[in-house]
Amino acid sequence: MGLAERAHGVCPNEAALQWRRQNLLDIFLNHPLGDQNVRSLVFEEKCGHVVGFLGLVPKPILFRREPISGAVGTYFLVDPANRGKLIGIQLLRAALAGQQDLLFGDAVSDVAKRLLSIAGAGVSTRLSYHWVRPLRPLALVLSKVKGPSAKRGLAKAAAAPAAILDRLSSRLPFIRVPRPTTDLSLREIDRDSLLICKSRLEPRKGIQPNSNIWLSWAIARMQASPSIFGCLRLLGSFDRTDRLVGWCVLCTKPGQIAEVLDFGATDKVAPHQFDLVTIEAFRAGATGLAGRIDPNLLGIVSNSYCFVRPNNWMMFHSRHPEIWDAFERDDVDLSRMDGEFIFGLP
Ligand SMILES: CC(C)(COP(=O)(O)OP(=O)(O)OC[C@H]1O[C@@H](n2cnc3c(N)ncnc32)[C@H](O)[C@@H]1OP(=O)(O)O)[C@@H](O)C(=O)NCCC(=O)NCCS
């Protein structure tokens, strides 16, 4: 907690402090999927003072349908007073030399990417690309204004006229929210239906998540903290015969970008499902809709008015060449529900 405070600042109030403490305990100590091979690392000075941390969270993975020991690396921190002393690189090298078969992180910053590359990790290009589909473009731009309070005050004052302009511009082809044109309908589903739908429709890939416990844990965490994650929606697409033919996990917060965390459907259904999810995000007051490029969405995103850019690198490491090879061939099915997003860490 001391290191977190020095690196990320003091919590503004008691509730935020409690949340930070509980969140760190839940992720790094009370994780439901213990794995002897996976341990978080701290860097201690001789006096026992902790000045660096690299969290490793056990993540069961299937490689060619066989279970392997996986870990998500996250919360990579060095005390601001001790940066540039090669503590970070030592933590990374120790993590990469660990017992796990696969280590990955999917919210890696530019500076951590550089260090990870030096330490010997690889980067997955496709899983590092994200798309954003503007829904209320001016509100979207204003929500990104950071910096001095005068600048933020100005952005706040501009919010009302921006809302009017966004309404007027909503007829432009690249902003217009689609109208549903199929017999598909999108409805809330429960966790069990989501799991069944995923197991039925998800394409078989070399590297896949291996435990429903992780997904259930992730859903419970996110539903319990709407102020951090927004409203978590488990959505299913139903065809004319009321058969479940696709799924989407969506996080919405009014006035912010809605995040697609997981999306799957058959090729025929996927574009229509994407339209329905876009409508859903717009109705929830989102300024835009965003997600990671996954194979299901590649064609849809390139045919829609979306911005695509690398954002939050996906880095990986394995001592097994065949696992490395699977990443390089993009033979990977890991959604954002399998990675760092669900931790809600800064
Ligand atoms: C990212 C972070 C953990 C790095 O920790 P650190 O202890 O300062 O890093 P190191 O001292 O090991 O490395 C610092 C520099 O040495 C360089 N370096 C380290 N080993 C090297 C090597 N073998 N060859 C060449 N350069 C090397 C790095 O490229 C880096 O260069 P820079 O100063 O130009 O950025 C730290 O900056 C931090 O806590 N940042 C805030 C939190 C954060 O952003 N975390 C990452 C989230 S994904």
Residues 36 and 110 in one domain: yes
Read off the pLDDT band of 172 (50, 70, 90).
confident
Residues 58 and 122 in one domain: yes
Q: By alpha-carbon position, which residue is closest to atom 1 of ligand 1?
A: 112
Phi, psi dihedrals of residue 41, rounded to the nearest 5°: -120, 140
Atom of ligand 1 nearest to the CA of 108: 48
Residue 65 within any structural domain of the chain: yes
Residue 188 within any structural domain of the chain: no
Q: Are 265 and 237 in contact (CB under 8 A)?
A: yes
The two three-digit tokens of residue 99, written as one number = 């017992």
Q: What is the mean pLDDT of residues 149-155?
A: 71
Total domain count, the chain: 2
pLDDT digits (tens, 9 = 90+) for 207-246: 999 988 999 999 999 999 999 999 999 999 999 999 999 9
Q: Of the residues 129, 160, 193, which one is the last residue of a structural domain?
A: 129
Q: Is 55 in the pocket of ligand 1 (CB under 6 A)?
A: no
Read off the pLDDT band of 107 (50, 70, 90).
very high
Half-sphere exposure of 203 (CA within 13 A, CB side): 16
Residues 88 and 166 in one domain: no
Report the mean per-residue pLDDT for the chain: 91
Q: What per-residue string of b and e applies to 72-82 under the rule 16 or more CB within 10 Å gives b?
A: bbbbbbbbeeb
Q: Is 77 in the pocket of ligand 1 (CB under 6 A)?
A: yes
User: Is the four-CA dihedral 87, 72, 32, 22 of positive or negative sign?
Assistant: positive
Domain range enclosing 151: 136-176
Q: In degrees, to the nearest 5, what angle opens at C-alpha 106 toward C-alphas 102 and 112?
A: 95
Please give the biggest Cα pair distance in the chain: 68
One DSSP character per residue, 110-137 reads HHHHHHHHHHT-EEESGGGEEEEEESSH
Between 244 and 311, residue with greater pLDDT: 244
Residues 153 and 110 in one domain: no
Residue type for position 281: A
Residues 73 and 10 in one domain: yes
Residues 26 and 82 in one domain: yes
Q: Is 112 in the pocket of ligand 1 (CB under 6 A)?
A: yes
Residues 27 and 145 in one domain: no
Taking the model in full, what pTM does it have? 0.90
User: What pLDDT does 114 receive?
Assistant: 97
Q: Is 327 in the pocket of ligand 1 (CB under 6 A)?
A: no
Residue 213 within any structural domain of the chain: no
Cα 290 to middle of ligand 1, angstroms: 29
pLDDT digits (tens, 9 = 90+) for 53-68: 999 999 999 999 999 9
* Pocket perturbation via mutation, ligand 1, pick of 5, 45, 78, 114 by most ligand atoms within 8 A of CB: 78
Q: By alpha-carbon position, which residue is closest to atom 41 of ligand 1?
A: 77
Atom of ligand 1 nearest to the CA of 78: 39
Residues 53 and 96 in one domain: yes
Distance CA 275, CA 271 (A): 6
Name the nearest CA neighbour of 218 among 13, 14, 33, 5. Answer: 33
Atom of ligand 1 nearest to the CA of 105: 48
Question: Residue 61 sits in a domain of what CATH number?
Answer: 3.40.630.30
Which DSSP state fits 176? P
Residues 101 and 170 in one domain: no
Residues 37 and 108 in one domain: yes
Distances (CA, A) of 310 to 106, 112, 129: 11, 15, 4
Residues 121 and 27 in one domain: yes
Cα 89 to middle of ligand 1, angstroms: 6
Residues 62 and 141 in one domain: no
